Amino acid sequence: MATRLVCRDCHRVLDVEGDEQCPACGSNSLTEDWAGYVVIAHPEESEIAEAMEVTEAGRYALKVR
């Protein structure tokens, strides 16, 4: 199983492999060095989403180095 990449800019957990861009924000600053995994289904009702400044549903990493 391939290591999941996380976008350093928007913290989305991505299904891409290699040197691709983040499909959400277009950043090419992706990292394998991340920890924690949170699924935000309803960002408008989620305190986690508010704390992370997330406005779109999706999968996000809690810590990105």
Write out the residues near Zn ion by the rule CB under 5 A: 7, 9-10, 22, 24-25, 27
Handedness of CA 20, 26, 29, 34 (dihedral sign): negative
CB of 3 to Zn ion, least distance (A): 17
Residue 54 annotated as lining a ligand binding site: no
One-letter amino acid for residue 25 of the chain: C
Residue 7 annotated as part of some ligand binding site = yes
**31: which strand partners?**
6
Q: For strands 38-40 and 58-60, give the pairing.
A: antiparallel
Shortest reach from residue 44's CB to Zn ion, in Å? 20
Q: Which residues are annotated as a binding site for Zn(2+)?
A: 7, 10, 22, 25
